[in-house]
Amino acid sequence: MAAIVEARELTKVFRVAKDRRGLLGALRGLFSNEGRDVKAVDRITFEIAPGEFVGYLGPNGAGKSTTIKMLTGILHPTSGEVRVEGKSPQRSRKEVVRRLGVVFGQRTQLWWDLPVRDSFELLAAMYQVKPEAYQEILKRFDEMLEIGAFLDVPVRKLSLGQRMRADLVAAWLHRPPVVFLDEPTIGLDAVAKGRIRAFLKEINRTEGTTIMLTTHDMDDIEQLCSRVIVINHGRLIYDGDLEGMRRTVGAPSTLRVEYTRTLETAPRGPWTVLAHEGAAVTVAFDRSQHTAAAVIAELSRYGELRDIYMAEPDIENVIERMYRQVM
């Protein structure tokens, strides 16, 4: 199937002004062109097919947001090209964004001082959504995200979870075929995250919306994305399914257990002992080889467990590890 989103040799270079000291330095900085170039995005190429749910990963400052901003027409690439439904979001911005949805997790797109409903109505007007279609979609979203309860509350009075739900509805009001989500679960508690994931899964399935999502949460990726693209230092370092990524990285997980009594020697098993102090033991194991349950069962043979603490592989670590392997 033809790609709905394409990036070809996409590159963005930012010019960082040379840091000058003092007032005189600041004045000179105004007129000089000195500085150094930083490649935020470096020759990235990928294609996304209609209906795909893609996770876009990378550590902070890897160039994720810069890429999303070029895909949505906010930034102009230094070189290379973007195509959304075959059109350039830079050259035909208005035409392209009419069929896009965008959510920036850190910043709401809603009118801060007005009730949620007012924002929805303004957006419906902006995207020329017909009144019947608007009512229908509002009803459907209320079933999925329970937004009815706070439709008449000003946005500034919403909790973070409610605000994110409202922002998601706002992005989908005009039923865009492509939606970009930049950190949609950032700062949310487990319940709110779960609700948003369920919504995204459902809407991707029923509406066939192509979704590209950036996140720091490994669970977002595991539960939602059929494909992941990883970048670091502006370069694409992995593009494929999650299993493949696990294989490349070895996905280490750490498990910390506390026994009811002090252990004389560290337990031995298919893991590496990271720390052992009295009754507390921390081990690292390979998730692609052993399940957490099996490791816990094995550990409990050494004594009764009082407490278990599971640490997911931190995405920054995973990517850092991946980057080292690729190099």
Partner 1 sequence: MNALRLYGRLAAASLRARMQYKMDFLMSTFLYGMLTVSDFLMLAAIMLRFREVGGWNIYEVGLLYGMSWIAMGLYRTFAPELHNFDRYIVYGEFDGLLVRPWPTLLTLLGRNFEPHRLGAAVQGGIILWISVSHLTQAGVLDGLDVAYIVAASIVGALIPFGLSLFTATLAFWVVRTGELQPFTMYAPVTASQYPLTVYPRWLRLLLSSILPVAFINYIPAQYLLGKGGSVWSLVAAPAFGVAFVTVAYAFWRLGERHYHSTGS
Binding site for partner 1 (CB under 8 A): 14, 30, 60-61, 64-65, 69, 72-76, 90, 93-95, 97-98, 100, 102, 104, 106-107, 109, 111-114, 118, 122, 125-128, 154, 182
The CB-of-257 to partner 1 minimum distance in angstroms stands at 36
Residue with Cβ nearer partner 1 (233 or 256): 233
Residue with Cβ nearer partner 1 (28 or 76): 76
The CB-of-15 to partner 1 minimum distance in angstroms stands at 9
Residue with Cβ nearer partner 1 (126 or 311): 126
The CB-of-112 to partner 1 minimum distance in angstroms stands at 7
d(CA 204, CA 282): 39
The CB-of-50 to partner 1 minimum distance in angstroms stands at 21
Residue found by looking up tokens 């930083």 in the block: 38
d(CA 296, CA 237): 33
d(CA 204, CA 52): 8
Taking alpha carbons only, the member of 261, 263, 313 closest to residue 292 is: 313
The CB-of-78 to partner 1 minimum distance in angstroms stands at 11
Residue with Cβ nearer partner 1 (40 or 283): 40
The CB-of-170 to partner 1 minimum distance in angstroms stands at 11
What is the side-by-side strand order in the sheet with 53-57? Answer: 100-104, 178-182, 210-214, 53-57, 227-232, 235-240
Tokens of 165: 């739900």
Question: 3-state DSSP call for residue 132?
Answer: helix
d(CA 47, CA 229): 11
Integer CA distances (angstroms), 283 to 7, 177, 255, 295, in order: 41, 45, 5, 9
User: Residue 67 in contact with residue 41, Cβ under 8 Å?
Assistant: yes
The CB-of-76 to partner 1 minimum distance in angstroms stands at 6
Residue found by looking up tokens 């150094």 in the block: 36
Tokens of 34: 């000195």
The CB-of-268 to partner 1 minimum distance in angstroms stands at 44
Tokens of 240: 């494929």
Residue with Cβ nearer partner 1 (14 or 302): 14
Residue with Cβ nearer partner 1 (6 or 167): 167
Residue with Cβ nearer partner 1 (128 or 265): 128
User: Residue 253 in contact with residue 284, Cβ under 8 Å?
Assistant: yes
The CB-of-303 to partner 1 minimum distance in angstroms stands at 46
Residue with Cβ nearer partner 1 (183 or 281): 183
Question: 3-state DSSP call for residue 15?
Answer: strand
Residue with Cβ nearer partner 1 (65 or 253): 65
175: left (phi over 0), alpha (psi -120 to 50) or beta: left
263, with CB counted inside 10 A (0-12, 13-18, 19+), is middle
